[in-house]
Amino acid sequence: MSSPSARDRADFERVLRRALDTPDIRSALHADPTGRAAKRLREWALEAADEIGAAADEEYRAYREARDRRPRGRFPVVDGTVAPLLLVLTPLVATLSAAVLLLVGYALRLASVAADFATSAVIAGWVLAGIAAVTALTGLGVLLRAALRGGDGTPEERPGTTPDVQRARDRWQQALLERGVLPYLRHRLPEALAP
C-alpha cells in the first residue's frame, strides 16, 4: 500500500483478523496454547503491512481513486473535521453568549437601567441557553452513535460511502486477504510456531 491513511491501516488490521481466523491458520495456532505464536504472527504481519499490501496494489489504487472521485457535497457527520468542530464549538459559544447576556440583562434589571434592553438581553440569553442545550445533546448523540458502532464503523456505516467506493473497497480487501495476508501468514506460520 502506498502512503496508507489511518483508516486504510484499520482496514488492513481488520483483514488480518479475518485471516488469523481462517480455519487452517486458527487450527495451526491452537498447537501453541500460550498464544505467543499468534501474537508473533500478528506483529510480523503488521510490520510487513506495506510489503503485504503490494500484492493488492492495483485494487488498492482503484479503491483510492473511487474514494477520491466520490461526491463531496455531503456534510460530514463524524468522519470529517468540520462537523465535530461545530458540534463542540456551537454549544460552547452559545453557552458563553447566553451567560454574558443573562448576566448583563439581570444586572441591568437589578439596577433598573435600560429596562427594554435588559428584557431583550434576558430573552436572548435564554434562547441561546436553549440552543446550547440542543446542540450539546445532538453532539452527544452523534458521538454515542459513533462509539456504539465501534470507532470508524463498518464499511456500510461510514458517512459518504457510495456503492462504487464500497465495491472497490471490498475488492481491495478480498485481494489483500487472498493474495497478501493469507500467503504471508501461511509462509511465516512454521517460524511462528517454532519454540
Residue 192 · residue 41 · CB < 8 Å: yes
For the entire predicted model, the pTM comes to 0.55
**Nearest alpha carbon to residue 121 among 93, 97, 101:** 101
Distance of CA 36 to the CA centre of its chain: 30
Residues 176 and 52: beta-carbon distance below 8 Å: yes
Residues belonging to the chain: 195
Q: Cα separation of 81 and 79, whole Å?
A: 7
Output the pLDDT for position 154: 46
Distance in angstroms (rounded) separating the CA atoms of residues 122 and 101: 6
Per-residue model confidence as pLDDT tens digits over 74-92: 444 444 556 666 777 888 8
Q: How does pLDDT run across 46-71, given as a tens digit for each residue?
A: 999 999 999 999 999 999 998 888 65
Calculate helix-pair angle for 36-47, 182-193, nearest 10 degrees: 140
Which sequence spans correspond to the domains of the chain?
A: 6-70+161-193, 82-148
Which residues of the chain register pLDDT less than 50? Answer: 3, 73-79, 151-157
